[in-house]
Structure 1
Amino acid sequence: MKKIIIAAVSENFVIGKNGRIPWHNKEEIAHFRKTTTGFPVLMGRKTFESIGNPLKDRINIVITHNKFYNQQFPQVLVFDSITSALEYCEKKFEKVFIIGGESIFNQTILIADEIILSKMKFNIDGDAHFPYFELNQWELSSVEDFKDFTIYHYIKKQN
């Protein structure tokens, strides 16, 4: 099963501010929706709560340390660790998209098989950042340029 991180970042790698994405770009949202629809999306509790509802046409998987996490959407799968969530996905899916936030990205950057990074064409102030990753461990598979952002698709190099 492929583990694919998908994220939108500013030029200075900000992904959030006060629990929200600090910009709104319809074209980037459409790219995210088109790429992830039909596949499971794995996220942390804070990310899920910031979205507010399960993402449509995707299996929503939430990671939380709170074993008694009670949320109002019974169709959302809740796990207490990334490991247990990925073990579940391994048996059922060909790929899973890891959609954040900062803590989840930090915990999965070393085990991801691919990274799809929408880099917005501006710097912005924020309190959540995408983790540093060694570019020499990744092969740039494709680049797609849009007016307000560029999508970089990286595939982990095989050792």
Structure 2
Amino acid sequence: MIISLIVAIAQNGVIGKSSGEMSWHVSEEFKHFKNTTKGFPVLMGRKTFETLGKPLKERLNIVLTRNPEYKTQFDDVLIFSSLDEAINFCREKKFEKIFIIGGAEIYKIAIPIVDEMIISRMKFTAEGDVYFPEFDESNWKKEKIMDKELFEVYLYKRI
């Protein structure tokens, strides 16, 4: 199973706002995200899930939370208390690939174990107070896979 991380990052490292508001709206980048993750499980933290407001269509939605009492109104959303538990579940179900879609706390604990990262580097700075964690690029082979007007997409594969 391939463990993939997908994220869009502004030039100043911003990935969002702690209020849950989006820092930007670039429909072409959203389409890239949807097309890339469609058909695969998406794993996210509780705050990210609550920001979305509902499960992402055509994907198994998995939410991580430290709160053992956490419930959601959506029957088809799975809830786990740790990244390891969620990944083990996906391995048992023999998924080909899973996507870790945020937020910052989840990215930070996932970077050391992911096989690849798909990073949209936005060509602008953005307002926000949530940042993508720093990582050592020397551990990764970087390849540009898309160049659009407002963003470039890079595939990082672990060396």
State TM-score, norm by structure 2.
Answer: 0.96
Q: Does 1:5 align with 2:5?
A: yes
Q: Give 1:50's aligned residue.
A: 51
Instruction: Specify the SS of the correspondent of 1:70.
Output: coil
Q: Give 2:116's aligned residue.
A: 114
Instruction: Specify the SS of the correspondent of 2:155.
Output: strand
Q: Give 2:22's aligned residue.
A: 21
- How much does 1:21 deviate? 2.4
Query: Equivalent pairs: percent with the same residue?
Result: 49
Distance 2:55 2:127 in 1: 27
1:4-35 CA-partner distances (Å, limit 9, x unpaired): 00001101110011223210011000000000
Runs of 4+ residues deviating >3 angstroms: none
Distance 2:26 2:126 in 1: 14
Instruction: Specify the SS of the correspondent of 1:53.
Output: coil
Distance 1:72 1:107 in 2: 27
1:47-90 CA-partner distances (Å, limit 9, x unpaired): 00000010000000000011111110010000011110011011
Letter aligned with residue 41 of structure 1 = V
Question: Which residue of 96, 100, 113 corresponds with 2:98?
Answer: 96
Q: Give 2:36's aligned residue.
A: 35
- Quick check: 1-10 or 16-25, which moved more? 16-25
Instruction: Specify the SS of the correspondent of 1:124.
Output: coil
RMSD of aligned alpha carbons:
0.8
1:140-159 CA-partner distances (Å, limit 9, x unpaired): 133311010000111000xx
State TM-score, norm by structure 1.
Answer: 0.96
Instruction: Specify the SS of the correspondent of 1:100.
Output: coil
Letter aligned with residue 12 of structure 1 = N
Distance 1:39 1:75 in 2: 14
Q: Give 1:151's aligned residue.
A: 153
- How much does 1:123 deviate? 1.1
Q: Give 1:67's aligned residue.
A: 68
Distance 1:136 1:88 in 2: 31
